[in-house]
């Protein structure tokens, strides 16, 4: 059975226990760790979990955002083990940067992305995305499957740092969907997961930050517009289980306001 929870990413339970993927015990240990440590532990098997954004979602996003064009420089925010970077690499002419707070995920990404086609200069940055110091450096920024790690109180700071990282006219793309019906299974699965995370964080520190139903379409659009982006929304046109996913593209104005 496919069970899809759609917010900033699509998650299917099919394949959760891939022979090369993490066991239920390993997932429990990860969830009981801090967010950073949890992903360090998960990194070697991350590609065998349903938490890794599928290539077809990334490919269709890049197709909708870039068409047939390439870019000079791109930034993959919360790049994880490099699924997005692998597909961005042949579309970048000079520079491709991935940033993530997990050294374990970045270690895997360096190996994985290094084998992908393309020849831009690669850079892997271990840092908090809320503290990114890039200024006017990128034509394109993307974020796949990680927006649930950004708390509501940090969303404005997150978008502010992305806007600063883009060149005038640069684009930021994220994948999301409309809010699911309260009568739908995926709505209640997402709410149950969020509830379990709140209980876990109340009982145990440091917290593990991952919540669904964040950066949904209406909220993401308003957030980007509030930070001066010109926003376009495009349906990815995918079949189930990814039907209904949309890419929100925020373009930084060509002129920098005084």
Confidence category of residue 258, pLDDT binned at 50, 70, 90: very low
Rounded to 5°, the CA angle 239-79-92 comes to 85
Q: How many residues does the chain have?
A: 258
At residue 241, the pLDDT reads 87
Percent of the chain with pLDDT over 70: 91
**Residue that is written with structure tokens 């083990």 in the block:** 81
Confidence category of residue 21, pLDDT binned at 50, 70, 90: confident
What's the per-residue H, E or C state across 165-193? HEEEEEEEEEEECCCCCCCCHHHHHHHHH
For the chain, the structural domain boundaries read 5-251
Q: Taking 80 as the threshold, does the pLDDT of residue 3 lie above it?
A: no
At residue 12, the pLDDT reads 40
What backbone phi and psi angles, to 5 degrees, belong to 79?
A: -70, -15
What CATH homologous superfamily does 5-251 map to?
Answer: Vaccinia Virus protein VP39 (3.40.50.150)
Confidence category of residue 17, pLDDT binned at 50, 70, 90: low
What mean pLDDT comes out for the span 166-192?
95
First to last CA, the chain: 54
3-state secondary structure of 30: helix
Confidence category of residue 8, pLDDT binned at 50, 70, 90: very low
């Amino acid at each position: 059975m496919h069970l899809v929870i759609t917010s900033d990413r699509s998650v299917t339970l099919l394949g959760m226990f891939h022979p090369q993927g993490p066991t239920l015990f390993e997932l429990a240990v990860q969830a009981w760790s801090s967010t950073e440590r949890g992903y360090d532990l998960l990194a070697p098997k991350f590609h065998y979990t349903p938490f890794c954004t599928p290539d077809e979602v990334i490919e269709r996003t890049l197709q909708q955002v870039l068409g047939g064009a390439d870019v000079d420089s791109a930034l993959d925010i919360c790049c994880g083990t490099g699924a997005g970077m692998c597909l961005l690499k042949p579309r970048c002419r000079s520079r491709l940067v991935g940033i993530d707070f997990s050294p374990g995920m970045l270690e895997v990404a360096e190996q994985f992305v290094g084998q992908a086609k393309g020849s831009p200069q690669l850079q892997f940055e271990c840092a908090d995305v809320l503290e990114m110091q890039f200024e006017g450096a990128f034509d394109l920024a993307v974020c796949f499957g990680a927006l649930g790690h950004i708390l509501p109180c940090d969303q404005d700071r997150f978008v502010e740092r992305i806007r600063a990282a883009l060149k005038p006219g640069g684009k930021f793309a994220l994948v999301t969907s409309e809010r699911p019906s309260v009568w739908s299974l995926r709505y209640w699965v997402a709410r149950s997961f969020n509830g379990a995370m709140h209980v876990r964080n109340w009982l145990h520190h440091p917290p593990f930050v991952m919540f669904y139903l964040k950066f949904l379409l209406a909220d993401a659009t308003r957030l980007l517009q509030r930070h001066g982006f010109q926003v376009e929304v495009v349906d990815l046109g995918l079949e189930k289980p990814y039907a209904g996913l949309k890419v929100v593209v925020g373009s930084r104005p060509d002129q920098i306001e005084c």
